[in-house]
Amino acid sequence: MTYQALARKWRPQGFNEIVGQESVVKSLMNALKSDRLHHAYLFTGTRGVGKTTIARVLAKALNCEDIQAANPCGQCSVCRDIDDDKYIDFLEIDAASRTKVEDTRDLIDNIQYAPSRGRYKVYLIDEVHMLSGHSFNALLKTLEEPPDHVKFLLATTDPQKIPVTVLSRCLQFSLKHLTVNQLTDQMKTILQKETIAYDAAALALIAHVAAGSMRDGLSLLDQAIVFGEGQVSVAHVQSMLGTVGSQAVGELLLTVAANDPARALQKVAEMADFSSDFDSVCASVIRILHRTALAQVVPETLVLAESREVVENLVAAFTPEEVQLYYQIALTGRKDLQLAVDLRSGFEMLLLRMLAFRPIGSVSTGAEQNSGVAPVSVKTIVKQQASKSVEETAKSSGTDDWLVMVGAMNLGGMARELANNCILASLTDDQCRLMLDERFKELHGKKTEQSLLKALQGYLGRSVKLVIQTQSLAHTTTPAVLINEQIKSRQQSAEQAIDDDKAVRALKDRFSAHVIPGTIEPVKSSEEKQ
């Protein structure tokens, strides 16, 4: 048998099979049930979202011999003939190839005749915006006063090119882009019916590249099946599309967080070895930064995020300000990639731009080690205050002691953010009670609390119950506030040292020089460099 492409083989045959256009489908089915049928329908939307598919299903429903709850049966002679393009009262016209006014007049001349079999003669005009101005004028009179037995179904990707006089005589439906989840779920369903092995992550990659088009997604899926010799794996899809995985993109962004240009360029070289499409890599960077920004503002989104571990690492590595800056650089830089000598060099310049414009002086309790200001080492603070025994720390309460405990627990990501914005209210043999600053209540999530509890029990060496209560701590010194104060103090000391430097003062006096704001950083200690 001749192979049939997935997009054709699994084309929806009824309203119940259409994906992602629920509002349009509901409106059409309600119109069929109540027999309130318009004489002309216009379906708009980008390619591959289902315009002609919905139109063909509606054509079947209008003439189906055994319609079931406004859904065509798919089994009667009318439904089968429309599927096979044999139904004489259903005419599908490609306006792109029949733009002349003579073609439209021939069509109009045949409209006056009653249908030979069904209730309606149905005319589906695809890419209707391609008709000439004279063709639209010829069609307009029929749209104004159509025969009762005629229905027009128009489809277009560019409704702005259709005269307003025609638009005003049509019932318009705008079809939406399909989401990544909708595309992925549909591909899973098809592959399960086709008994083809697949990786869910590979389907997500295809769905992203398909950009909301079901037809494009299924065409890429066809290609992936052939490329992977009967299976759809992440490695095969990445190689086919020239993309890289979220793990590699996350590692690349971490080199930016570490201010390591040599390692960043090495990562780019590794990507180039796999013939990566750097436009797609840039798109992946934008997607990952978007998810990171969402997770920083609304931590609950981290539970639903793709590449969760990657996003969690970036949340801990970047301040929200840095994420916003890098997102904008990537978004703007992607437009400039085509202007570069080649995509790789354009992408390398994009990364170097991120490193060059890294915010100086930005501070976040979750990413002190990546800010322009040298961070206060938690290890140093712990050592400075470690004169107290673990037993004394466990029995006491206060900001300093809680800071020691947080540092010793080696927390990371959202759990560290949560702990740094709490104070230790009480600690007994079986319970630890923390007070969370209400300004950071969004940090308190079930998974984050579990991570903190696990680290706390490991530190104490016993099982305890963790209770976190929220209240205003605006005038209370949390570990986050203490760390920021120490960072600011060191920064001020560094700036004062520059001002007091004799050589600097001489340059100011002789050449009217001045120190560029934000360019002074405290010198890191040997411990902090480790």
Report yes or no on 468 lying in a domain: yes
Report yes or no on 194 lying in a domain: yes
Domain limit, last residue, from 241, 259, 293: 241
The pLDDT of residue 375 is above 60: no
Contact, 328 vs 354, CB < 8 A?
Answer: no
Report yes or no on 364 lying in a domain: no
Domain count, the chain: 4
Enter the DSSP assignment of 171.
E
Residue range 246-251: average pLDDT?
Answer: 85
pLDDT range class, residue 360, cuts 50, 70, 90: low
Q: How far apart are the first and last CA of the chain?
A: 66
pLDDT range class, residue 330, cuts 50, 70, 90: very high
**Full domain range(s) for residue 331:** 246-359
Residue range 41-50: average pLDDT?
Answer: 92
Residue found under tokens 């990371």: 412
Q: Which two tokens stand for residue 484?
A: 């920021």
In angstroms, the Cα distances linking 392 to 357, 401, 425 are: 45, 9, 15
The pLDDT of residue 201 is above 50: yes
For residue 208, the domain's CATH number is 1.10.8.60
pLDDT range class, residue 189, cuts 50, 70, 90: very high
Neighbours of 20 (CB within 10 A): 20
30-44, 136-150, 208-222: which has the minimum mean pLDDT?
136-150
Average pLDDT, the chain: 82
Q: What is the pLDDT of residues 461-505, one digit of tens each?
A: 889 999 999 888 877 778 888 888 888 888 888 888 888 888 888
Q: What local confidence, expressed as pLDDT, does residue 188 receive?
A: 94
Q: Are both 237 and 250 inside the same structural domain?
A: no
Q: What is the pLDDT of residues 254-301, one digit of tens each?
A: 989 888 889 999 989 888 877 667 888 898 899 899 989 988 888 777
Q: What is the pLDDT of residues 73-106, one digit of tens each?
A: 889 999 999 988 888 889 888 887 776 777 777 7
* φ, ψ at 341 (rounded to 5°): -60, -40
Report yes or no on 260 lying in a domain: yes
| Torsion angle of C-alpha atoms 187, 85, 166, 134, degrees rounded to 10 | 130
Q: Are both 379 and 337 inside the same structural domain?
A: no
Q: Are both 81 and 197 inside the same structural domain?
A: no
Report yes or no on 1 lying in a domain: no
Q: Are both 236 and 339 inside the same structural domain?
A: no
pLDDT range class, residue 367, cuts 50, 70, 90: very low
The pLDDT of residue 23 is above 60: yes
Q: Are both 328 and 382 inside the same structural domain?
A: no
Q: How many residues does the chain have?
A: 530
* 436 bridge partner residues: 422, 470
Q: Where are the alpha helices (DSSP H) in 298-341?
A: 301-304, 308-317, 320-336
pLDDT > 90: percent of the chain:
28
SS3 432: strand
Report how far residue 207's alpha carbon sits from residue 181's, in angstroms, rounded to the nearest whole number: 8
Q: Are both 427 and 491 inside the same structural domain?
A: yes
pTM here is: 0.59
175-184, 303-312, 357-366: which has the minimum mean pLDDT?
357-366
Report yes or no on 349 lying in a domain: yes
pLDDT range class, residue 122, cuts 50, 70, 90: very high
For residue 380, the domain's CATH number is 3.30.300.150
Helix (H) or strand (E) holding 52: helix 51-63
Neighbours of 47 (CB within 10 A): 12
Q: What local confidence, expressed as pLDDT, does residue 392 receive?
A: 44
For residue 159, the domain's CATH number is 3.40.50.300
Q: Are strands 422-427 and 431-437 parallel, antiparallel or unpaired?
A: antiparallel
Computed from CA positions of residues 156, 162, 166, 170, in that sequence, does the dihedral angle turn out positive or negative?
positive
Q: Are both 99 and 233 inside the same structural domain?
A: no
Domain limit, last residue, from 218, 241, 264: 241
Q: What local confidence, expressed as pLDDT, does residue 398 receive?
A: 46
Domain limit, last residue, from 302, 324, 359: 359
Q: Are both 188 and 282 inside the same structural domain?
A: no
Q: Are both 413 and 324 inside the same structural domain?
A: no
For residue 250, the domain's CATH number is 1.20.272.10
Q: Which two tokens stand for residue 177?
A: 């882009």
Angle (nearest 5°) at CA 302 between 299 and 303: 115
Q: Are both 150 and 57 inside the same structural domain?
A: yes
Q: Are both 230 and 310 inside the same structural domain?
A: no
Report how far residue 452's alpha carbon sits from residue 474's, in angstroms, rounded to the nearest whole number: 23
Report yes or no on 366 lying in a domain: no
Q: Are both 380 and 527 inside the same structural domain?
A: yes
Q: What is the pLDDT of residues 223-233, one digit of tens each?
A: 999 988 888 98
Report yes or no on 412 lying in a domain: yes
Report how far residue 211's alpha carbon sits from residue 179's, in angstroms, rounded to the nearest whole number: 8
Q: What local confidence, expressed as pLDDT, does residue 388 receive?
A: 38
